[in-house]
Structure 1
Amino acid sequence: MIELQACDSGHCLILKPNRSADWQTNQRLIVAVALISIVIASAFAAIGAWLILPFAGLEVIALGAALYRVNLNLHYRQILWFSGESLIIEKGVYRPRQRWRWTRIDTAIHVCEDNRLILKLSNGSNSISIGEFLTEEDLRQVLSTLKTLGLRVRGHSSDCQLNA
């Protein structure tokens, strides 16, 4: 998912994974699976196979943990701040965990089309992949937006090696 916002001193490009379900929807799914599991486990326990009860509980706990982990990863963001002659790149979940500050004029886009489209921003010997979690269509939109915001494409390749 891509959002371009106008900020006080320039533009802000927000890249985030598509989320088909929020945490509340996942909680409803966990409750539904838990209820079905309880009914089935209770039926087995009623005929003497009580050993299934802990496994039914473990199944629901494993599903909840997996959905929580996936939901947490879907809060990952990459934010590109275009302000004057500077470009600030931030990556993280809930808050920036990594941050780079580059000059816009020295920053270029490298496009790699191996099995799928890969975008990298480079500045001198530094290189950062962006939008790894986006669809091909979204990546093409990001590329177009970055060109519109003044970044130049330094090159296309099929081997995904960035030569600085």
Structure 2
Amino acid sequence: MVVALHKQQARDGTWRYELCPNRSRSWPETQRFFAVMVVLGGSIALLFAAQGLWWVAPFSGLELLALGAGLYFCSRATYQRELILVREAQVSVLRGGAHQRSQVDFTRAWAQLRWRAAANGGGRSQLLLGSHGRYIEIGAFLVDAERRQLAGELGLLLGQPSCAESPVLPLNTGLNREIGL
């Protein structure tokens, strides 16, 4: 199981939460899978072309192009990260993958967590961090149990342990991300 929530405390007292989406395959594994699909799809297209059905080849190529694009964008999304730093006077949320895309800072004394429950028709809950009317969603790619866990942990650090309306779960409790428990 890939742990999506890493927590550690630095020597200077800074709490660091690293959030990452579940990644079932690494990029090299995804490339190998795509190579196998290209060989298989190309072989089938060549067999049809040898039988005189040449018009199958362009459609096979389009299908492989769509598969490659889908694999690329899905794999790219799994390498995104959120880093939450809780310092003595400041709470920072850094987002990005290989390079930091954005950073949002809040004064720790004013920072609040808000839990927005899922709508009656389904959907997912949201965990919001902010102050002075400016809130951002954190942990959007986490399942509800992990988002509640994060809310409980951050709530204790910010002095508001009941923001997620759930008990605090210890980290690495074996949450099953595939079925959302």
- Name the TM-score class by shorter chain: 0.7 to 0.9
- Kept after mapping to 2: 8 A contact 1:4/1:13: yes
Structure 2, unmatched stretches of 5+, are 166-181
Corresponding residue of 1:6: 9
Corresponding residue of 2:96: 92
> What does residue range 2-41 of structure 1 map to in structure 2 within 5 Å?
2-9=5-12, 10-41=14-45
Which ranges of 4 or more aligned residues in structure 1 deviate by more than 6 Å?
none
Partners of 1:155 and 1:141 in 2: CA distance: 11
- Alignment match of 1:122 (pick from 118, 130, 136): 130
- Kept after mapping to 2: 8 A contact 1:109/1:151: no
Identity percentage of aligned residues: 28
> What does residue range 75-114 of structure 1 map to in structure 2 within 5 Å?
75-114=79-118
Partners of 2:79 and 2:43 in 1: CA distance: 34
Partners of 2:94 and 2:81 in 1: CA distance: 8
- Kept after mapping to 2: 8 A contact 1:37/1:56: yes
Structure 1, unmatched stretches of 5+, are 158-164
Q: Is 2:162 aligned against 1:145?
A: no
**TM-score normalized by the length of structure 2:** 0.79
Partners of 2:57 and 2:159 in 1: CA distance: 59
Corresponding residue of 1:162: none
Offset of 1:129 from its aligned partner?
A: 0.8
Residue 48 of structure 1: SS of its match in structure 2? coil
> What does residue range 151-162 of structure 1 map to in structure 2 within 5 Å?
151-152=159-160
Offset of 1:130 from its aligned partner?
A: 0.7
Offset of 1:3 from its aligned partner?
A: 0.8
Distance change (3 Å), C-alpha of 1:119 and 1:102: same
Corresponding residue of 2:141: 133
Offset of 1:92 from its aligned partner?
A: 2.0
- Kept after mapping to 1: 8 A contact 2:112/2:158: no
Letter of the 1:124 partner, please give it: H
The CA deviation string for residues 32-89 of structure 1, in whole angstroms up to 9 with x for no partner, is 2112112211111111112222222222122111111111111111111112121111
Superposition CA RMSD, Å: 1.9
**TM-score normalized by the length of structure 1:** 0.86
Distance change (3 Å), C-alpha of 1:73 and 1:114: same
Letter of the 2:17 partner, please give it: L
